[in-house]
């Protein structure tokens, strides 16, 4: 059984940084593209960033481009989201998701992802 677990959320002031981590167990981590989504109160869940199984391709939402960096280490079965220059509008529950694919494509649609974590709260105060 595949399990996806996020960690690293918390509260920071605007301009600060946080690093989220996500681990996957139960299947080969390197057979999954990984992504981060987020959901703010009263809003739909939205795509943030994704990375291919090899790490060779990544993609970002325009709202986080230049501030967030996604990376992975297949030997550690972990994907990270480094978030810098955080803004109050980044406040949300952040979800890690796994998409079982072995090409270099990264998907932005939620339905493409097979497994989801429980989410971790990120709160940015002004």
Cα separation, 21 vs 81, whole angstroms: 7
CB atoms within 10 A of CB 65: 10
More reliable by pLDDT, 79 or 101 = 79
Residue 100: which of 29, 48, 47 has the closest Cα? 29
- Residue 87's pLDDT is what? 98
- Looking only at the bridges linking them, the beta strands covering 92-100 and 78-83 are unpaired
Instruction: Give the pLDDT mean for 33-49.
Output: 97
Residue 102 is predicted with a pLDDT of 78
DSSP state of 102: -
């Amino acid at each position: 059984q595949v399990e996806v677990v996020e960690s690293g959320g918390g509260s920071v002031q605007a301009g600060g940084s946080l690093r989220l981590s996500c681990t996957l167990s139960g299947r080969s981590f390197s057979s999954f593209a990984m992504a981060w989504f987020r959901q703010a109160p009263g809003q739909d869940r939205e795509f943030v960033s994704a990375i291919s199984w090899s790490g060779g391709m990544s993609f970002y939402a325009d709202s986080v481009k230049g501030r967030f960096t996604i990376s992975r280490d297949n030997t550690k079965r972990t994907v990270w989201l480094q978030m810098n220059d955080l803004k109050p509008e980044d406040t949300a529950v952040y979800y890690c998701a796994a998409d079982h694919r072995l090409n270099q494509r990264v998907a932005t649609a939620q339905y493409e992802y097979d497994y989801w974590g429980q989410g971790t709260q990120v709160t940015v105060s002004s």
